Structure 1
Amino acid sequence: MELNNTIIAVDFDNTLCYSDWPNLGAPNLPLIKYLQREKSAGSKIILWTCRAGKPLEDAVRWCKYYGLFFDAINDNLPEIVELYGNNSRKITCDIYIDDRNMKLEELVGVS
């Protein structure tokens, strides 16, 4: 099996939504529009968040309200599980989008 689509994993709190957990907040509209364009172009989108239970349900409902739909939520894509024969705890993706992201240059002090 060959995967031809970009897989993007995106966090919710302070990434898609400017929130004060477990509350919801204002949308990050530029990011939402970017993800909608990527999905229309064939990318797969995974919601990758620490939320669970009702806070997760609220977040998914919030995303749907803003027109953002996911191919997986806190899980690998079915085609990834099939490809590797198991469902690793690590999400397989090409791009992680998270408010706590740090560039390697910032981490190790290299420019």
Structure 2
Amino acid sequence: MLFLTGFGSISFAQAANHRIQLGSDPAYRGRVMALYTLVFQGTTPFGALLIGWLSERLGARSGLLAGGAATVLAALVVLALHLRGTGRREPDAPAGAREASDAVSP
């Protein structure tokens, strides 16, 4: 399981880095990558301090539960944003089908 977790982590980091670099305007790529690095890696020490403090106070199990809860919460937020962005709309009818239905309508 550790191998699969490591593989997934490296794959995600590489894919996110790739998407951020290719999806940003070349004039702003440096700034975008600086913000990406701050968000993706720069906040790790704060999270480590928080989970370390929680684990010291309430035990190691609480630290693991907090990490899992944060992961599930982040996944739910991303899912909600994705569903909101897609809008769950019905696809438009092809142009030819619209013209044919207009011709038949009285």
Give the TM-score of the pair, scaled to structure 2. Answer: 0.28
Higher relative CO (Cα under 8 Å, sequence separation at least 6) belongs to 1
Larger radius of gyration: 2
Q: Give the number of the structure whose residues are more often helix, by fraction.
A: 2
